[in-house]
């Protein structure tokens, strides 16, 4: 492997990892606060992808169509998330865990088939938008600009979210509700509204990832399941409920995917699971999580 191929592979692995981080961060925040493991989180990401496709193709005559999609598609996905939380999830918080799984699994089927109904079973593509198309020369080597753009997005979202959770009153309220919803409720915090807000934030992140991914991949049915499994692996590696953990886990998984296929292609698919098993044995609460 040449140096150029090595760094190129690492960058592409990390950039896919950054997209996965956005999804995993949303999954993790929702689980931490609502105590709901949203199986349909990947499907919400996929909806973001289809919205990106439809917006960029319908707005193709407008310059910068992709950037409009990047602005509006995640907001639309957040609104869909808000509707799901208020109309469906809210009814089952007091029920057994099993109902969450049935409900969120049903959402996978319903949202997936809705996408199939509107967009069919084919692959849709979105071209890499100006000005982050083409290649960029660094240290005499050439890299796809879009990969670097994704890495930048991941870092900005990570820092932004961390600051939001740590330094704002909104963040304090979310941390309080995450720790004990009943006490927060008795202190006058409108917990149902916090739940809706957090679910919308998590959905927004999935929608953002869904919009950022198509230019370097394709939009297709089934991408939701691939992604949700990778996100579970990321939060297990990093620690469920830990934002830095999701960030680290996403980078590790991205690199593992990128180099696994280079080194032992036949085992590439198995590497993430093997790593997850090792982590579960030696540190069940994840690299940066807290033991219960």
Partner 1 sequence: MLLEVKKINTFYDLSHILFNVSLEIDKGETVCLLGRNGVGKTTIFRSIMGLTPPRSGSIRLYGDEIKGKKPYEIARLGVGLVPEDREIFPDLTVRENLEIAGKKGRKEKQTEDWTIEKVHRLFPILRDRNNQWGGTLSGGEQQMLTIARTLMGNPTLLLLDEPSEGLAPMITKTIEEQILLLKKEGLTILLSEQNSSFALRVSDRAYILEKGHILWQGKTSELREKPEIMMTYLGV
Residues 273-290: b if buried by 16+ CB within 10 A, e if exposed? eebbeebeeeeebbbbbe
95 binds partner 1 (CB under 8 A): no
User: How crowded is residue 236: how many other Cβ atoms within 10 Å of its Cβ?
Assistant: 22
Q: Which residue from 122, 131, 140, 188 is in contact with partner 1, where contact means CB under 8 A?
A: 188
CB of 187 to partner 1, least distance (A): 4
Instruction: Quote the DSSP letter at residue 270.
Output: T
Binding flag, residue 175, partner 1 (CB under 8 A): yes
Report, in this order, helix, strand and coil percent for the chain, each rounded to 5.
Answer: 75, 5, 20
What is the smallest separation between the CB atom of 189 and partner 1, expressed in angstroms? Answer: 6
| Binding span for partner 1 by CB under 8 A among 66-74, 175-183, 219-227, 262-270 | 175-183
Q: Identify which of residues 43 and 178 has a Cβ nearer to partner 1 in the complex.
A: 178
Check residue 138 for interaction with partner 1 (CB under 8 A): no
Cα gap 156→131, rounded to integer Å = 18
Residue with token string 């593992």: 256
Contacts with partner 1: how many residues (CB under 8 A)? 18
| Cα–Cα distance, 250 to 20 (Å, whole number) | 6
Residues 197-256 that bind partner 1 (CB under 8 A): none
Cβ-based nearer residue to partner 1, 188 or 265: 188
Residue nearer to partner 1 on the CB measure, 89 or 253: 89
Rounded to whole angstroms, how far apart are CA atoms 256 and 275? Answer: 9
Determine if 94 is a binding residue for partner 1 (CB under 8 A).
no
Q: Give the count of alpha carbons within 13 A of 185, CB side only.
A: 7
Structure tokens at 246: 């999701």
Query: Is 172 near partner 1 (CB under 8 A)?
Result: yes
Stretch that binds partner 1, among 142-150, 165-173, 196-204, 225-233 (CB under 8 A): 165-173
| Closest CB to partner 1 among residues 142, 190 | 190
Choice between 160 and 192, CB closer to partner 1: 192
Rounded to whole angstroms, the Cα distance separating 49 from 253 reads 21
User: In this structure, how many other beta carbons lie within 10 angstroms of the beta carbon of residue 262?
Assistant: 13
Cα–Cα nearest to 256, from 17, 3, 4, 5: 17
Distance CA 129, CA 71 (A): 14
12 versus 178: smaller Cβ distance to partner 1: 178
- Residues 144 and 132: their CA atoms lie apart, in Å, by 8
Q: Is 96 one of the binding residues for partner 1 (CB under 8 A)?
A: no
Residue 173 found at the interface with partner 1 (CB under 8 A): yes
Q: Which of 19, 39, 4 lies closest to 207, judged by CA?
A: 19
CB of residue 192 to partner 1, shortest distance in Å: 8
| One of 159, 190, 264, 273 touching partner 1 (CB under 8 A) | 190
Query: Is 102 an interacting residue with respect to partner 1 (CB under 8 A)?
Result: no
Under rule CB under 8 A, residue 140 binds partner 1: no
Q: Given the rule CB under 8 A, which residues bind partner 1? A: 169, 172-173, 175-176, 179-180, 182-192
């Amino acid at each position: 492997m040449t140096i150029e191929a090595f760094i190129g592979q690492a960058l592409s692995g990390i950039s896919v990892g950054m997209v996965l981080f956005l999804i995993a961060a949303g999954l993790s925040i929702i689980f931490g606060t609502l105590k709901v493991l949203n199986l349909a989180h990947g499907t919400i990401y996929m909806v973001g992808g289809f919205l990106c496709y439809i917006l960029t193709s319908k707005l193709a005559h407008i310059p910068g169509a992709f950037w409009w999609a990047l602005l509006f598609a995640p907001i639309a996905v957040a609104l869909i998330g808000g509707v799901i939380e208020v109309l469906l999830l809210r009814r089952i918080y007091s029920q057994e865990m099993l109902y969450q799984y049935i409900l969120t699994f049903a959402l996978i089927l319903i949202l997936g088939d809705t996408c199939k109904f509107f967009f069919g079973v084919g692959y849709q593509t979105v071209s890499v938008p100006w000005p982050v198309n083409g290649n960029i020369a660094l240290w005499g080597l050439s890299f796809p600009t879009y990969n670097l753009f994704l890495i930048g997005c991941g870092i900005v979202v990570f820092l932004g979210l961390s600051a939001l959770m740590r330094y704002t009153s909104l963040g304090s309220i979310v941390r309080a509700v995450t720790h004990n919803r009943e006490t927060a409720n008795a202190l006058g915090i409108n917990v149902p509204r916090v739940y809706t807000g957090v679910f919308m934030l998590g959905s927004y992140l999935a929608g953002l990832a869904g919009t950022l991914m198509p230019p370097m991949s394709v939009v297709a049915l089934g991408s939701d399941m691939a992604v949700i499994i990778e996100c579970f692996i990321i939060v297990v590696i990093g620690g469920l409920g830990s934002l830095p953990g999701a960030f680290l886990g996403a980078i590790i998984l991205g690199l593992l995917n990128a180099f696994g296929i280079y080194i032992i292609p036949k085992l590439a698919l198995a590497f993430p699971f093997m790593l997850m098993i090792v982590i579960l044995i030696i540190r069940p609460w994840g690299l940066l999580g807290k033991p219960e």
